[in-house]
Amino acid sequence: MAEMRKRVSDIASFPMRLQAYMAKCGVGSRRACEELIREGRVMVNNRVVREMGVKVEEDDIVQVDTETIELADRLYYIALNKPRGYVCTNYDPNEDRYARDLIGIRENGMLFNVGRLDKDSNGLIIFTNDGDFANRMMHPRYEVEKEYIVKLDRDVVIDDLTRALNGIYIDIPKPYRIKRYDLMPRTKEYVRITLIEGKNREIRKIFSYLGYDVKSLTRIRVGCVELGDLKPGEWRNLTREEVSGLLNGRGGDNGRKRRITVKAKEEGHGNRD
């Protein structure tokens, strides 16, 4: 989708806030970039910057962890079917299988994931080098839906799902809560769960608290973008309509009417550009 790979230089204007510049360079979302600044990991013209109000000019030299960053030449929006066993972080000394490495483009080193799927989960995850886009997708205010198929170790009880709808306090002051559930056809071990905010390991924590063991967890939708027939390890560029739909808050309620029988494979690699 060449039309989705527009040049960043066409939409960049200076002076620019440091965190915005970092986001456009593909460092991460604006919130993630702000955290890097607070940690003292960012330098502008060889000076460490910790405050948020700093603006940079086009010829300023910006470094993150001593590495010079530059505006990305193009913006990418990519859907990946992350296999189980891969991590979404871009660096962890204890890991050797990174989801980003499955994306076969020359610039994949500048991509970062929008939201996360934990190592033991699989399914749809979006990668981009557009920090503004990522910030909007991850901000709770925009209520981007994420839909999952969950396999449990036993038949699910409706009263438990009702408790999850109402909210459960587990380990933080805010409740863990699902937005919607749908029972799968001909089985009570599988349930389709829709979240909005998506706290860390939220689904696993909810069902563990309710006495279940999650056997598998597959994300099948983010907003209007669906996993579809992407095989584990495969990826594709989002269409212009999908990117617009995500930014405009379009969901995928029509997907509730389908009879989904997804059983995610955990092996296989490839790409579908």
DSSP code string of 168-218? B-SSSSSPB--SEEEEPTT-SSEEEEEESS--TTHHHHHHHHTT--EEEEE
Helix (H) / strand (E) containing 122? strand 122-128
Q: What is the CA radius of gyration of the chain?
A: 20
| Residues counted in the chain | 273
- Residues ≥6 apart with Cβ < 8 Å to 18: 33, 37, 42, 44, 49, 52, 54, 55, 56, 62
**Which residue in this structure is represented by tokens 């389908």?**
258
- Residues ≥6 apart with Cβ < 8 Å to 98: 86, 87, 88, 89, 90, 91
- Residue 175 has a CB neighbour count (10 Å cut-off) of 13
Helix 131-138 to helix 30-38 angle, to the nearest 10 degrees?
Answer: 100
Indicate if 118 belongs to the active site: yes
Instruction: Name the catalytic one among 10, 60, 101, 118.
Output: 118
Please give the angle made by the CA atoms of 28, 117 and 5, to the nearest 5 degrees: 45
Question: What positions carry a catalytic annotation?
Answer: 118
